[in-house]
Amino acid sequence: MACEVLIAAEDKNHSLKGYPKNVKDVPCVWGKKEGPPGYVILRITDATAAQVEHYLKQWHKQFTYEILAENKQGYRIKVTVDPALVSASGLNKEIRADLKNYIVESYGAQVHRYDLYEAVIDIPKPLTINGDPTTLQGLRDDVHDKFSEMVDSRFYYFSESDVDYALSQPGGIVERTKAQVVAMINSKLDD
């Protein structure tokens, strides 16, 4: 069985050139926009979609949230980030400071504790984002969205030269075996 991986060929829609976006088993149908110049297709001749879907893994799914306390004034919430994410994703002090400022300014929050891997914040009731009413789930979604804008969102990516080569091929399609793909795909954990 073969599968196809859709790969971004330019920076757009929360994705960078070389990031895998989707995977389907062959035969598959892609949309009209899912080809050059925006995307290329990598056909893996000896693998199923299930065998390669881990290439779509994203960083921002590695947050945990815990409500430490709640009273009529608000919530004390702990947000934790996986230490492997911090060291391998390029998340640095500048980004941490930007995210901290965003939380304080957008939620009216007070920072109780903030370090490399976790933040404990006090968020007043009623819950708002920039003055608009929201829920705890709305706050979580907002942090995920903001974090995904600030940090490369994919573990795995293909080099710009591999994408450019695919763009030069008919229909933007390149065929490789699973072993060839393993040799060419890059991991942020190795950067």
The model carries a pTM of 0.59
Sequence-ordered strand ranges (E) for the chain: 3-8, 20-25, 39-44, 63-71, 74-81, 110-114, 118-124, 128-129, 132-133, 156-157, 173-176, 186-187
**Cβ(173)–Cβ(39) below 8 Å:** no
Looking up tokens 């990516």, which residue turns up?
157
Residue 87 has pLDDT above 60, yes or no: no
Out of 3.30.70, 3.30.1360, 3.90.1070, 1.10.3470, select the CATH number for domain 60-150. 3.30.1360
Please list the alpha-helical segments (H only) found in the chain: 49-52, 83-88, 93-107, 136-150, 160-167, 178-184
Give, in degrees to the nearest 5, the angle at Cα 25 between 24 and 26: 115
Q: What is the pLDDT of residues 120-168, one digit of tens each?
A: 899 999 999 988 999 989 988 887 777 666 655 567 889 999 999 999 9
* Top-confidence residue, 190 or 35: 35
Kindly report which listed range (12-16, 23-27, 28-32, 171-175) carries the lowest average pLDDT score: 12-16
CB count in 10 Å sphere of residue 43 = 15
The domain locations on the chain are 3-57+154-187, 60-150
Environment class of residue 78 by beta-carbon count within 10 Å: exposed (0-12), middle (13-18) or buried (19+)?
middle
Identify the CA nearest to 144 among candidates 61, 27, 53: 61
State how far the alpha carbon of 81 is from the alpha carbons of 60, 86, 116, 118, in Å. Answer: 9, 7, 8, 6
